[in-house]
């Protein structure tokens, strides 16, 4: 069974630039999560989708971050404009439903200069 | 409000000795609790989970955890450490329900080092 796929794996940008991350969850998984993991900290949930609807985006900085999950499958997370403090690993995870085990992708390491 | 506290940022044990990683939680509900492991340059992997069934939960690779409601703890243990256990471990709390209150909170992590 294929796991959660993310791209790119690494991204370096300058502050005030825009960046987008892509996630392809495990086939059939209804729930998709985006996390931000700053170096030395635990992952922080940014947004949770159930199919293509948002369940929880309370910790998403909506002035600069946006996410969508069109057709309830793939998802993209965008940052516009990026700040230095956005440097982190962005993790995508999926689960069969909102109570199920989360399977994590390898993450995208973002460096903002 | 819910929270999770991992009491040790770094634990170092000798190979073959017991492992104890401590986790305390706070929740207004009856939460689900999880332990995840993150090896260097690898994705997060579920070790075990508690979802209101048996209080002693067995996971992969010989790990287990005991849910103690009176102490609001969910400590992770293993009888005998192996070199391959060296990794970062995260305790996670999740409130039940399908609502905005059903937040997922990760602890700050405990780095486990194994001495030969």
Range of the domain at A82: 5-9+16-95
| Interface probe with A: pick from B38, B40, B44, B101, most Cβ of A within 10 Å | B44
First-residue to last-residue Cα distance in chain A = 37
- CATH number, domain at A33? 2.60.40.10
Residue A49: which H helix or E strand, with range? strand A44-50
Domain count, chain A: 1
Q: A106 lies in a domain?
A: no
Instruction: Report pLDDT for A18.
Output: 97
Instruction: Report pLDDT for A1.
Output: 62
**pLDDT tens digits, residue range A77-86?**
999 999 999 9
pLDDT higher than threshold 70 for residue B101 = no
**pLDDT tens digits, residue range B41-70?**
788 999 999 987 788 999 999 999 999 999
Q: Is some CB atom of chain A closer than 8 A to the CB atom of B44?
A: yes
Region A17-24 average pLDDT = 97
Q: Is some CB atom of chain B closer than 8 A to the CB atom of A97?
A: no
CATH fold of B3-115, please? Immunoglobulin-like (2.60.40)
Query: Percent of chain A at pLDDT above 90?
Result: 82
First-residue to last-residue Cα distance in chain B = 42
Q: A100 lies in a domain?
A: no
């Amino acid at each position: 069974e294929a796991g959660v796929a993310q791209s790119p794996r690494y991204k370096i940008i300058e502050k005030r630039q825009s960046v987008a991350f892509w996630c392809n969850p495990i086939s059939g998984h209804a729930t998709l999560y985006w996390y931000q993991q700053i170096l030395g900290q635990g992952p922080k949930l940014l947004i949770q989708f159930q199919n293509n609807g948002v369940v929880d985006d309370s910790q998403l900085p909506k002035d600069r971050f946006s996410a969508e999950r069109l057709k309830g499958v793939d998802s993209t997370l965008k940052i516009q404009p990026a700040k230095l403090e956005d440097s982190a690993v962005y993790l995508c995870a999926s689960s069969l439903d909102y109570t199920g085990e989360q399977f994590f992708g390898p993450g995208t390491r973002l460096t903002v200069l | 409000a819910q929270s999770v506290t991992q009491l040790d940022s770094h634990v170092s044990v000798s190979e073959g000795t017991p492992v104890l990683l401590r986790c305390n939680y706070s929740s207004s509900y009856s939460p689900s609790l999880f332990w995840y492991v993150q090896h260097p340059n690898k994705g997060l992997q579920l070790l075990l989970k508690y979802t209101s069934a048996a209080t002693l939960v067995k996971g992969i690779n010989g790990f287990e955890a005991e849910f103690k409601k009176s102490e609001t703890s969910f400590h992770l243990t293993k009888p005998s450490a192996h070199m391959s256990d060296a990794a970062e471990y995260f305790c996670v709390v999740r409130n039940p329900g399908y609502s905005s209150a059903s937040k997922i909170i990760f602890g700050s992590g405990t780095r486990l080092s194994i001495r030969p």
